[in-house]
Amino acid sequence: MANGKIGVTTENIFPIIKKFLYSDHEIFLREVISNAVDATQKLKALASVNEFTGELGDLTIRIALDETAKTITISDSGIGMTEEEIEKYINQIAFSGAEEFMAKYKTDNGIIGHFGLGFYSAFMVSKKVEIVTHSFKEGATALRWSCDGSPDYTIEPAEREARGTDIILHIDDDSIEFAEKTRIEGLLKKYCRYLTIPIAFGKEQDWKDGKYEDTDKDQIINNPNPIWSLKPADLKEEDYMEFYHELYPMAEDALFSIHLNVDYPFNLTGILYFPKLKNNLEVQKNRIQLYCRQVYVTDNVEGIVPEFLTLLHGVIDSPDIPLNVSRSYLQSDSNVKKISSHITKKVADRLQEIFKNDRPQFEQKWDDLKIFMEYGMLSDEKFYERAEKFFLFKNTDGKYFTIEEYATLIKPTQEDKNKKLVYLYTTNREQQFTYIEKAQNKGYDVLMMDGQLDAHFVNQMESKLPDARFVRVDSDVVERLIPKEDLAETKLTKEQQEELRPVFVCHAPEKTNFTVMFENLSETDAPVLITQSEFMRRMKDMAQMGGGGMNFYGELPDSYNLVVNANHPLVLKVIGETETAMKADLDKVNGEIAPVEASLNEVKDAQKSLKPDDISQADKDKVAEIEKQLSTLKDKKTAMLSAFGKKNQLAKQIVDLALLANNMLNGEALAKFVKRSVEMIKK
């Protein structure tokens, strides 16, 4: 029997290991099993170069749990260790045997370990660890190494006929949860599901005499040949979908899969899936899993995969991603950068391939795909450049167009007088229905832009496409959506417009900001329309999406334009009714206003030649006094007209009609509107 001190200078390194080595204590099992896999792979490597000529035999790695003794035993039939090797690889912490082995044999035949600390993670959960090992080397004998967590260890002869190693973990009282079958099963499933050597835990069971009974067949918990390790040429679409459901049993079918397979300038394999996302960007639970030579590492791939692709599902396996370093370091690692841009390229290539080879399928899945595309195009310049060839616009008839096709389609009809191409779009087909219909009647096409990212995307498109303007279909009256040339005079005079303003505005709903505007529209258009300025609305939309610094816009009340058609016969009828009914009152108040206005002009004219400093205070007061008088009179006129307007059924009816078309009329107002309409029809 030999005694010794483990080769580290710190008096006792184990408390440090226990607390800080890995934040996740549960990874101990992955580390110890990975070593067993490595030992087995090394033996296979030696056999392949005839340095080991014996029988490989059954290489299954067995995990045994003794719930009473609170031990977990991991047994392999790998290369084992001689006394010198134990001294070198186990006693000298951080001296990694794997690195040395790979350097010597210039193979990375599925060998995982390269940090040189994995084995010691066993002490995070164990009060004592034993190694019983028998090297494959000729003349080697079995040995037992034992250490109770202090820097002292013992090494002595042991009984183990067969080649290989048992690692026996005596689980510590404060980690007793790890001595339970279900916990171990959970860990095996999480970390060891795709290890390259068969792993057995317990026995397969049979239903016998009303209960489950163990058979003598080992229960293998892993699949050593997951499909990402196979050649794409040997796989069918069904295989990919089957694997998808193996990874995420609760998920709906994925839209597409992408098989990654690179070996230069870095190693990377994997399969990514475009999932079917529900309508909003739900937080993803089925995340991409990162593996290193088929050992599960994490499902936090942030920094390795471009941000917009973290929405995808699937697996990535690469020995070239540094796993033991911080995330911030990862982002600056040149290998990781290359991996990230390679994945972006692959994803874009695959999408383009489907677009080219099977456009109907691509279109059919487009609605689900769009959010990824937009996210990618907004956040990744490189992806934008690739994706602009197969990004699809969808119009209100459900037809799909590439960006180029669409420009060709609308060019003859939707170019404005400044040679800008106007892209009309709707964010809500139902709410904006009347506007869509009007635009279509005028021969325009309207795009569907009702996704979460569309507000941002529209902005991006405007900056990317030369001479393009995106205009929401309800942001102006149809005549002015795409201004072609200047229109003729309106039938309403300026004075009449001023008189009608209060007659109409008194019917607009309270609490919302309405500005009455008169527009030179066609007689056949609606008498009144409601629009919302494109700029204002976009600002508010973006503020809602959380575009930084725009909260100011978000807090403004909604404001609309009440656009009165200055040529419509019904509007002309309202002015007629107003002028008839109000003739006496209007004459009277206009008669009062005229002399006040005249004297104001007179005083102002007289002051025009003077410098502001030379005007006497008395004169200034005089102007103020007249202005006050004038505004009182004008307010009186407005109040009169407004009182008349309130009683004017026709004006109310016309405004309500516009509100109705805009889904702004409901409840009591709607009931009254219907009643009034019926009465009018009867008349």
Ligand X SMILES: Nc1ncnc2c1ncn2[C@@H]1O[C@H](COP(=O)(O)OP(=O)(O)OP(=O)(O)O)[C@@H](O)[C@H]1O
Can residue 547 be called a binding residue for ligand X (CB under 6 A)? no
Between 178 and 444, CB nearer to ligand X: 178
Q: Which residues are known binding-site members?
A: 31, 35, 76, 81, 96-97, 165, 327
d(CA 81, CA 133): 6
Q: Which stretch binds ligand X (CB under 6 A): 91-99, 245-253, 446-454, 518-526?
A: 91-99
Longest CA pairwise span in the chain (Å):
126
Between 12 and 413, CB nearer to ligand X: 12
Can residue 114 be called a binding residue for ligand X (CB under 6 A)? yes
Q: Using the structure block, give the residue that is written with the tokens 């098989």.
A: 259
Can residue 119 be called a binding residue for ligand X (CB under 6 A)? yes
DSSP state of 112: -
**Which residues in 443-456 are b (16+ Cβ under 10 Å) and which e?**
ebbbbbbebebbbb
Q: Taking a C-beta distance cutoff of 8 angstroms, is the pair 242, 271 a contact?
A: no
Can residue 72 be called a binding residue for ligand X (CB under 6 A)? no
Q: How far is the CB of 160 from ligand X (least distance, A)?
A: 12
Q: Which stretch binds ligand X (CB under 6 A): 114-122, 358-366, 424-432, 584-592?
A: 114-122
Q: Which residues are known binding-site members for ATP?
A: 31, 35, 76, 81, 96-97, 165, 327
Can residue 90 be called a binding residue for ligand X (CB under 6 A)? yes
Write down the H helix ranges in 262-389. 327-332, 334-357, 359-379, 381-387
Q: For residue 22, what is the enclosing H or E element? A: none
Between 97 and 303, CB nearer to ligand X: 97
d(CA 396, CA 235): 39
d(CA 251, CA 413): 45
Can residue 645 be called a binding residue for ligand X (CB under 6 A)? no
Q: Using the structure block, give the residue that is written with the tokens 């934008």.
A: 384
d(CA 243, CA 271): 9
Residues 145-204, interacting with ligand X (CB under 6 A): 165
Can residue 105 be called a binding residue for ligand X (CB under 6 A)? no
Q: How far is the CB of 330 from ligand X (least distance, A)?
A: 18
Can residue 35 be called a binding residue for ligand X (CB under 6 A)? yes
Between 80 and 319, CB nearer to ligand X: 80
Joined tokens for residue 92: 């000298």
Q: How far is the CB of 217 from ligand X (least distance, A)?
A: 24
Can residue 323 be called a binding residue for ligand X (CB under 6 A)? no
Size of the site for ligand X (CB under 6 A): 25
Can residue 76 be called a binding residue for ligand X (CB under 6 A)? yes
CA-angle at 277, arms to 244 and 455, nearest 5°: 145
For the four alpha carbons of 312, 318, 324 and 325, in that order, the dihedral sign comes to: negative
Residues 428-487, interacting with ligand X (CB under 6 A): none
Q: How far is the CB of 73 from ligand X (least distance, A)?
A: 12
Between 98 and 505, CB nearer to ligand X: 98
Between 79 and 492, CB nearer to ligand X: 79
Q: How far is the CB of 446 from ligand X (least distance, A)?
A: 59
Can residue 527 be called a binding residue for ligand X (CB under 6 A)? no
Binding ligand X (rule: CB under 6 A), the pick from 6, 79, 271, 482 is 79
List, as one string, the DSSP characters of 555-578.
Answer: HSPPEEEEEEETT-HHHHHHHHHH
Between 135 and 286, CB nearer to ligand X: 135
Can residue 39 be called a binding residue for ligand X (CB under 6 A)? yes
Output 333-338 pairs: Cβ under 8 A, ≥24 positions apart: 335/266, 336/303, 336/304, 338/265, 338/266
> Which three-class secondary structure state does DSSP give residue 264?
coil
Can residue 294 be called a binding residue for ligand X (CB under 6 A)? no
Q: Taking a C-beta distance cutoff of 8 angstroms, is the pair 449, 460 a contact?
A: no
Q: How far is the CB of 300 from ligand X (least distance, A)?
A: 19
CA neighbor of 93 nearest in space, from 69, 122, 73, 65: 122
Write out the residues near ligand X by the rule CB under 6 A. Answer: 31, 34-36, 38-39, 76, 78-81, 89-90, 96-98, 113-120, 165
